[in-house]
Amino acid sequence: MAEDNLFAAFLTARRKELRPADVGMPTGGRRRTPGLRREEVAVRAGVSVDYLARLEQGRDRNPSAAVIGALADALLLDETDRRHFTMLALAADAASKCSDDAGLCPGANSPQEQLPPSIETILRALNPTPAFVVGRRLNVLGWNSAWADFAAPLGLLDGQHEPNLAWFTFKNSKARTVIHDWSAAADHFVAALYSAKSRWPADDNLRATIDALRREPEFARRWQAQPFGEDASGTLYFDHPEYGSVAVPFEMLSADRDQSVVVWLTDKVETAARGLRLVSGD
Q: Is the pLDDT of residue 113 over 60?
A: yes
Task: Calculate the dihedral angle through the C-alpha atoms of 192, 196, 199, 205, rounding to the nearest 10 degrees.
Answer: -170
pLDDT at site 193: 93
Superfamily name and number for 6-97 = lambda repressor-like DNA-binding domains (1.10.260.40)
**Mean pLDDT of all residues in 118-138:** 93
pTM for the whole structure? 0.72
Q: What is the pLDDT of residues 88-109, one digit of tens each?
A: 887 777 666 664 444 556 566 6
Q: What is the pLDDT of residues 217-255, one digit of tens each?
A: 999 999 988 777 666 788 999 999 998 999 999 998 875
Task: Calculate the dihedral angle through the C-alpha atoms of 229, 230, 235, 241, rounding to the nearest 10 degrees.
Answer: 110
**Mean pLDDT of all residues in 70-83:** 90
Higher per-residue pLDDT: 61 or 274? 61
Q: How far is it, in rounded angstroms, from Cα 143 to Cα 11?
A: 39
Domain ranges of the chain: 6-97, 117-268
**Percentage of residues in the chain with pLDDT exceeding 90?**
49
Distances (CA, A) of 179 to 187, 235, 238, 280: 13, 12, 5, 24
Q: What is the pLDDT of residues 38-72, one digit of tens each?
A: 999 999 999 999 999 999 998 888 898 899 999 99
Quick one: 101 exposed, middle or buried, by C-beta within 10 A (0-12, 13-18, 19+)?
exposed
pLDDT at site 34: 76
Share the mean pLDDT of the chain. 84
Q: Is the pLDDT of residue 4 over 60?
A: yes
Task: Quickly state the pLDDT bin for 280 (edges 50, 70, 90).
Answer: very low
Q: How far is it, in rounded angstroms, from Cα 21 to Cα 198?
A: 31
Ranking 4-13, 54-63, 167-176, 210-219 by mean pLDDT, the lowest is: 4-13
pLDDT at site 282: 44
Ranking 94-103, 135-144, 185-194, 264-273 by mean pLDDT, the lowest is: 94-103
Ranking 5-9, 203-207, 269-273 by mean pLDDT, the lowest is: 269-273
Higher per-residue pLDDT: 2 or 180? 180
Higher per-residue pLDDT: 180 or 276? 180
pLDDT at site 141: 93
Task: Calculate the dihedral angle through the C-alpha atoms of 241, 243, 244, 249, rounding to the nearest 10 degrees.
Answer: -110
CATH 3.30.450.180 fits 117-268, yes or no: yes
pLDDT at site 55: 93
Q: Is the pLDDT of residue 2 over 60?
A: no
Q: How far is it, in rounded angstroms, from Cα 58 to Cα 92?
A: 9
pLDDT at site 257: 66
